[in-house]
Chains A and B, each alone.
Chain A
Amino acid sequence: DSGVTQTPKHLITATGQRVTLRCSPRSGDLSVYWYQQSLDQGLQFLIQYYNGEERAKGNILERFSAQQFPDLHSELNLSSLELGDSALYFCASSAQGEGIYEQYFGPGTRLTVT
Chain B
Amino acid sequence: GDSVTQMEGPVTLSEEAFLTINCTYTATGYPSLFWYVQYPGEGLQLLLKATKADDKGSNKGFEATYRKETTSFHLEKGSVQVSDSAVYFCALSANTGFQKLVFGTGTRLLVSP
The proximity string for B residues 61-86 relative to A, scoring 1 for CB distances below 8 Å and 0 otherwise, is 00000000000000000000000000
Q: Smallest Cβ distance from B107 to chain A, in angstroms?
A: 12
Q: Are B100 and A58 in contact (CB under 8 A)?
A: yes
Known A-B contacts A42-B105, A42-B106, A100-B51; the reply to A90 vs B44 at CB < 8 A is: yes
CB-CB under 8 A from B45, the residues of chain A are: 2, 105
Q: Are A100 and B95 in contact (CB under 8 A)?
A: yes
Known A-B contacts A50-B98, A100-B95; the reply to A105 vs B43 at CB < 8 A is: yes
The size bracket of the interface on A is 20 to 34
* B103 on the A face (CB < 8 A): yes
The size bracket of the interface on B is 20 to 34
Selected from A43, A44, A98, A102, the residue in CB contact (under 8 A) with B98 is: A98
Chain B positions 31-79 with a Cβ under 8 Å from a chain A Cβ:
32, 36, 41-46, 49, 51
CB-CB under 8 A from B42, the residues of chain A are: 107
How many residue pairs between the two chains, A and B, have CB atoms under 8 Å in the bound complex?
Answer: 61
Distance between Cα atoms of A42 and B46 in the complex (Å)? 17
Q: Are B43 and A56 in contact (CB under 8 A)?
A: no
Selected from B46, B96, B97, B100, the residue in CB contact (under 8 A) with A45 is: B100
Distance between Cα atoms of A2 and B44 in the complex (Å)? 9
Selected from A45, A50, A55, A90, the residue in CB contact (under 8 A) with B43 is: A90
Q: Identify the closest chain B residue to A88 (Cβ).
A: B43
Q: Identify the closest chain A residue to B100 (Cβ).
A: A45
Distance between Cα atoms of A30 and B94 in the complex (Å)? 19
Q: Smallest Cβ distance from A28 to chain B, in angstroms?
A: 17
Chain A residues in the interface with B (C-beta under 8 A): 2, 4, 31, 33, 35, 42-45, 48, 50, 55-56, 58, 90, 92, 94, 97-108
Given contacts A42-B104, A105-B45, 7 further A-B contacts (CB under 8 A): A4-B43, A35-B101, A44-B103, A98-B99, A102-B46, A103-B46, A103-B101
